[in-house]
Amino acid sequence: MAASVLRSRNYLLLGAMILMAGTTFAASNIYTFTLPDIDGKPMPLADFKGKVVLMVNVASQCGYTPQYSALEAVYEKYKSQGFVVVGFPANNFGAQEPGTNEEIKTFCSRKYNVTFPMYSKVSVKGDDQTPLYQYLTKQTASSISGEIKWNFTKFLVDRQGNVVQRFEPAVTPDSADVTSAVEKLLKK
C-alpha cells in the first residue's frame, strides 16, 4: 500500500511539473499576454487579433523620443487597413522614463498627440522583465530574439500574432524598411 501511495504521489508530482513547464513555454504568439493599459485597466494583446501590430518600448527622455511623431504618423496612415502601434513605456535605459503612467500619458498626448494604445510602464530587461518581453527576447526566432539594447526597439507582428521582424532603435517607424514590411503584412 505504501508503494502505491508513493507511486501515486510521484505521478502527481510529475504531472504538476509537466503542467508548470507547459505554462512556462506555452506562449506561441503575443495573444497569450494581458497587461494593464496606461490607465491600469487590463488590455489583452488578443484585442489586436487580425491586426498587424508594431510593438515599441518607449521613453519620454530619450534621444529617440521624437520617434513618437513618426509612430503616430504611421499609425494614422495605416490604422484603417488593420494596423496598430502599441507603446510600452520602460525605464530600463538611463532612467529615461522616470514618470508615472499618468505623467507619461499626459506627455505623449500633449507633446506628440499620441492616440495609439499605450500600456502601463513595464520592464523590458533584467530580473523584473515582464513576461511579454521574456517571450519577445527569448522565445521568438533567433533573428528576432535577443536582449533589448535601448528604447524604441520595435517588433512587427502579423495578423496571427506571430512576431515576424525586429527593428532596432535607430530605424525610424516611418523608414522604408518599416513601412514596406507593414504594407507587405497588410496585404496578406
Please list the residues that pair with 166 across neighbouring strands. Answer: 155
What does the alpha-carbon distance between residue 126 and residue 92 come to, in Å, rounded to a whole number?
8
**Three-state SS across 51-68?**
CEEEEEEECCCCCCCCHH
**Three-state SS across 120-185?**
CCECCCCCCCCHHHHHHHHHCCCCCCCCCCCCCCEEEECCCCCEEEEECCCCCCCCHHHHHHHHHH
Residues whose CB is less than 8 angstroms from the CB of residue 12 and which lie 6 or more positions away in sequence, other chains included = none
Known catalytic residues?
Answer: 62
